[in-house]
Chains A and B, each alone.
Chain A
Amino acid sequence: QKEVEQDPGPLSVPEGAIVSLNCTYSNSAFQYFMWYRQYSRKGPELLMYTYSSGNKEDGRFTAQVDKSSKYISLFIRDSQPSDSATYLCAMIEGDSSYKLIFGSGTRLLVRP
């Protein structure tokens, strides 16, 4: 079993839809949670960075962490064709850890 599970998609939605992207994980020691966006032939770009449980909002993006269920989500409101990309979740264990564990990514397509 992988430490971090992520549905590979592709997820296809019409422009303006609310998108929900999710990851589950097995290691209860994870403390820091990130979402990266990766366009084709580009490097991952940090979207959201959160610590422990709760919600964080940044513009059209909201990140949720539920440590009791070992489940994290990224919501995209009013999705745009420019949001079409692969979204990677990533996690770090504790304060002194450098090791970033990635999900395999979900490919999102927003149709005009």
Chain B
Amino acid sequence: NAGVTQTPKFRILKIGQSMTLQCTQDMNHNYMYWYRQDPGMGLKLIYYSVGAGITDKGEVPNGYNVSRSTTEDFPLRLELAAPSQTSVYFCASSRRENQPQHFGDGTRLSIL
């Protein structure tokens, strides 16, 4: 009963490096989301997808890219890491709009 799985759990990057945060879900949900969570700031939506091949920007998309080639996977790419991208990143999924979202356990990312 995996739900939403995120890898890696922790990562340290140097400024300017690139990396991909992986997210996969086994609930056959159409909608998938990427959030970042900063202390005292709640969760902010980075990108979302309503199905394979369809993605759109959320509230804070700058510095990130996504793709959705399958229903199960929704990777998040950081191209040129900056200290402001130090955060905890959560992936989530839902069956459709207005339904509760189910979250993974996050990726803690530090950029030094």
Residues of A within 8 A of B (CB): 4, 8, 31-32, 34, 36, 41-46, 49, 88, 92, 94-100, 102-105
Contacts and interface: CB of A to CB of B under 8 A. Distances in A.
B112 interface: no
Nearest to B43: A102
Closest 8 CB pairs of A and B: A43-B103, A102-B42, A104-B42, A98-B97, A43-B105, A102-B43, A46-B100, A44-B103
Given A42-B106, A43-B103, A104 B98 contact: no
Nearest to A42: B105
B74 interface: no
Contacts of B101: 46, 100
A25 B85 CA distance: 28
Contact of B98 (A4, A32, A45): A32
Chain B interface, DSSP helix/strand/loop, else mixed? strand
B98 A97 contact: yes
A13 B7 CA distance: 36
B71 interface: no
Contacts of B102: 46
A42 B104 CA distance: 8
Nearest to B103: A43
B105 A96 contact: no
B40 A104 contact: yes
A38 B4 CA distance: 15
Contacts of A96: 97-98
A103 B41 CA distance: 8
A88 B104 CA distance: 15
B98 A103 contact: no
Contacts of B45: 99-100
A92 B98 contact: yes
Contacts of B103: 36, 43-45
Interface in B55-112: 58, 90, 92, 94, 97-98, 100-106, 108
Contacts of B34: none
